[in-house]
């Protein structure tokens, strides 16, 4: 691209100038500058295509958008490149940007870009939501009775738009099952109330398509731009008479799943507030041992395979032992003294060493059991080592870094001040176990099965020897 210039020297010797800056960067720098000068830019040379028949006044909803599309004669074909951008997912700095670029070919606009807009949207962060927000923003500034082509690199957005054609969001059970259902229902409402004929077109992302890259840079720059407006929640969540609101956030995610998650989180919080789970709060080294609750639940429920030597009755005992260990509910003397104070007097001490009170921590630390505990933990580690080596071979990678990471975990050494080995034995397994396999391109579900099987094996040994 080269801008028009009168300078002969440049015109003769230059055909292309490559700039490290995008149009979006430039607009962000230049627009506040001319605002500060309080001068309106002169776009008169670009106005040839503007029709004198401005039939549609913008909806109230649309006032928030700084830019509207360049109006065309009624019934015209609007072309938009839309894009979304998601950054910092999983952190408090998460941000979703959206953008649209209106294209009017062969009318004298620089590279056919008639106008563009960008902004942000809040809550329910996902890249698909950012993409859908871009489409919503573009359609909300499009006049009624138009034909619209949306160019996007998001297949999810295209699928979503196709569903709008069949009124899927306004009158079917699909509504609450769709993620971002309020946003999609609002897009569908725009399509129907404005009688828009929409055709989505898939473009390849990051493939050098000028307009797509332009839209991409606009969406990316929205995160930090003071001028990028936030799509107001009220605008895109009012297509139905009922809204689900919790803590001032409008629900846009499958309510059934959301309630389930909410209750699971509440139950987990209750569980962790029990005294017997206080040790979890002692695991504060985020680089060492962080409990992976998904893996923990999965392993608890993972039943060992039955065969001739390991029958259903064995499995039932294994299961009971595993849960009692997890809940610190094994019939150890210190527990029995509380539950059956008529049978167990306070003086009773560990049956093995006769030296200490027998609670779960002592069961692990007891001097008479130290070497066997150490062996069992060592074989747990070796088991994981061999599986990691297998995974490295499959991925054709050097296993050394992952083996080193695994052996550096504090949980392999037992001591009275080491809560990570206690956590491991209780069955609260660390994120690292899975991460190491995932880093070697093993899918998470498969990694969970491998770890759960190894842990079950460990539980069996523990049950036999302790
Ligand atoms: Zn003892």
Ligand 1 center from residue 402 Cα (angstroms): 35
Distance 275 CA to ligand 1 centre (A): 23
Q: What is the pLDDT of residues 406-454, one digit of tens each?
A: 999 999 988 888 899 999 999 999 999 999 999 998 999 999 999 999 9
* Interval between CA 349 and ligand 1 midpoint (Å): 8
Q: Check residue 273 and give its pLDDT.
A: 92
Can you count the helices (H) and strands (E) in the chain? 18, 7
State yes or no: pLDDT of 32 exceeds 80. Answer: no
pLDDT at position 134, please? 96
pLDDT of 61: 45
461 CA to middle of ligand 1, Å? Answer: 18
Reduce the secondary structure of 235-263 to three states and give it as a string: HHCCCCCCCCEECCEECCCCHHHHHHHHH
The CA 352 to ligand 1 mean position distance, Å, reads: 5
Kindly give the distance from the C-alpha atom of residue 366 to the centroid of ligand 1, in angstroms, as a whole number.
Answer: 4
- Residue 203 Rama label (left phi>0; alpha psi -120 to 50; beta): beta
Closest CA to 118 of 161, 149, 72, 85: 85
What distance in angstroms lies between residue 369's CA and the mean position of ligand 1's atoms?
8
**pLDDT category of residue 37 using cuts at 50, 70 and 90:** low
Percent of residues, the chain, with pLDDT higher than 90 = 45
Burial bucket for residue 167 (CB in 10 Å: 0-12, 13-18, 19+): middle
pLDDT in tens, 340-368: 888 888 888 888 888 888 888 888 888 88
Q: What is the pLDDT of residue 53?
A: 37
Indicate if the pLDDT at residue 381 is higher than 90.
yes
Most confidently predicted of 84-93, 107-116, 159-168: 84-93
Note the pLDDT tens digit of each residue in 278-335: 999 888 888 899 999 999 999 999 987 766 677 778 888 889 999 999 999 888 888 8
Check residue 369 and give its pLDDT: 86
Report the pLDDT value the prediction gives residue 11, as an integer from 0 to 100: 67
Spatial separation of the C-alpha atoms in residues 24 and 126, rounded to whole Å: 22
What are the tens digits of pLDDT across the range 238-279? 888 888 888 888 999 888 888 998 899 999 999 999 999 999
The rounded Å distance from CA 370 to ligand 1 centre is: 9
Average pLDDT, the chain: 84
Going along the chain from its start, the domains and CATH numbers come out as: 8-250 (3.30.420.10), 274-465 (no CATH)
Model pLDDT for residues 169-195, shown as the tens digit of each residue: 776 677 888 889 899 999 999 999 999
pTM above 0.95, yes or no: no
Ligand 1 centroid distance, CA of 361 (Å): 10
Q: Measured in angstroms, how far is the CA atom of residue 367 from the centroid of ligand 1?
A: 6
The pLDDT of residue 204 is above 60: yes
CB atoms within 10 A of CB 213: 19
Write down the pLDDT at residue 341. 85
Could you give the CA distance from residue 132 to residue 216 in angstroms, rounded to a whole number? 14
Q: How far is the CA of 350 from the centre of ligand 1 (A)?
A: 5
Ligand 1 centroid – CA 300 distance (Å): 27
The per-residue pLDDT for 142 is 92
pLDDT on residue 2: 54
Rounded CA separation 247/377 (Å): 46
């Amino acid at each position: 691209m080269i801008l028009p210039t009168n300078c002969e020297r440049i015109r003769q010797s230059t055909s292309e100038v490559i700039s490290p800056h995008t149009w979006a960067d430039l607009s962000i720098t230049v627009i506040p500058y001319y605002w500060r000068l309080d001068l309106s830019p002169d776009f008169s040379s670009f106005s040839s295509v503007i029709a004198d028949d401005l039939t549609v006044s913008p909806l109230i909803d649309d006032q928030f958008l700084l830019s509207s599309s360049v109006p065309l004669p009624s019934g015209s074909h609007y072309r938009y490149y839309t894009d979304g951008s998601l950054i910092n997912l999983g952190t408090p700095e998460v941000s979703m940007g959206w953008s649209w670029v209106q294209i009017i070919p062969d009318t004298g606009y620089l590279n056919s870009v008639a106008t563009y807009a960008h902004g942000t949207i809040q809550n329910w962060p996902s890249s698909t939501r950012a993409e859908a927000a871009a489409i919503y923003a573009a359609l909300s500034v499009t006049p009624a009775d138009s034909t619209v082509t949306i160019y996007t690199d998001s297949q999810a957005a295209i699928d979503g738009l196709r569903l709008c054609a069949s009124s899927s969001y306004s009158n079917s059970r699909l509504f609450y099952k769709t993620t971002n259902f309020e946003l999609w229902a609002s897009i569908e409402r725009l399509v129907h109330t404005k009688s828009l004929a929409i055709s989505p077109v898939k473009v390849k992302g990051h493939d050098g398509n000028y307009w797509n890259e332009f839209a991409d840079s606009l969406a990316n720059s929205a995160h930090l731009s003071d001028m990028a407006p936030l799509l107001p929640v009220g605008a895109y969540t009012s297509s139905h008479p009922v809204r689900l609101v919790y803590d001032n956030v409008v629900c846009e995610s499958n309510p059934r799943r959301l309630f389930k998650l909410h209750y699971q989180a509440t139950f987990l919080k209750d569980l962790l507030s029990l005294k017997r789970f206080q040790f979890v709060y002692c695991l504060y080294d985020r680089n060492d041992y962080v409990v992976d609750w998904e893996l923990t639940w999965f392993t608890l429920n993972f039943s060992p395979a039955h065969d001739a030597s390991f029958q259903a009755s064995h499995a039932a005992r294994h299961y009971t032992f595993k849960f009692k260990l997890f809940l610190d509910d094994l019939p150890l003397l210190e527990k029995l003294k509380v539950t059956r104070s008529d049978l167990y007097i306070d003086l009773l001490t560990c049956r093995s060493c006769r030296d200490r009170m027998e609670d779960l921590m002592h069961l692990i630390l007891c001097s008479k059991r130290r070497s066997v505990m150490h062996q069992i933990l060592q074989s747990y580690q070796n088991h994981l080592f061999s599986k990691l080596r297998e995974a490295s071979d499959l991925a054709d990678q050097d296993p050394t870094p992952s083996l080193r990471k695994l052996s550096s975990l504090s949980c392999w050494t037992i001591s009275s001040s080491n809560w990570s080995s206690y956590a491991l034995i209780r069955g609260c397994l660390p994120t690292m176990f899975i991460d190491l396999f995932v880093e070697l391109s093993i899918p998470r579900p498969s990694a969970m099965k491998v770890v759960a099987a190894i842990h079950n094996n460990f539980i069996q040994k523990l049950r036999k020897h302790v």
